[in-house]
Amino acid sequence: MAKAAKTAIKTKDQKAASEAKNWTKVVRTVRSPKTGSYTFKESIVHKDKVIAFLKG
């Protein structure tokens, strides 16, 4: 029998727990000008600024 996944954030500060849901991890591919190979840039961005991050 498998254990149930715990999805709730257990913290004393409920305001901080609700604010954590407003952030997302964004992974963008970037091409190197020297070698032409692709690398990945990871960043944690506020959900309102994801489009601006991907454009820039």
For residue range 41-55, what is the model confidence (pLDDT) as tens digits? 999 999 999 999 888
Residue 33 lies in a domain: yes
Structural domain count of the chain: 1
Residue with tokens 């690398």: 39
3-state secondary structure of 30: strand
Q: Tell me the pTM.
A: 0.56
Residue 6 domain-assigned (yes or no): no
pLDDT digit string, tens, across residues 2-53 = 666 555 556 567 777 777 788 999 999 999 899 999 999 999 999 999 999 8
Query: Residue 37 falls within a domain, yes or no?
Result: yes
Query: Measuring CA to CA, which residue among 43, 42, 47 is closest to residue 19?
Result: 47
Query: Which domain does 43 fall in, by range?
Result: 22-55
Q: Is residue 3 part of a domain?
A: no
- Alpha carbon dihedral 34, 29, 7, 20, in 10-degree steps, equals 90
pLDDT at position 19 is: 77
DSSP code of 33?
T
In a domain, 9, yes or no: no
Does residue 7 belong to any structural domain of this protein? no
Q: Return the pLDDT at 21.
A: 84
Query: Amino acid identity, residue 11?
Result: T
Number of separate helices (H) and strands (E) present in the chain: 2, 2
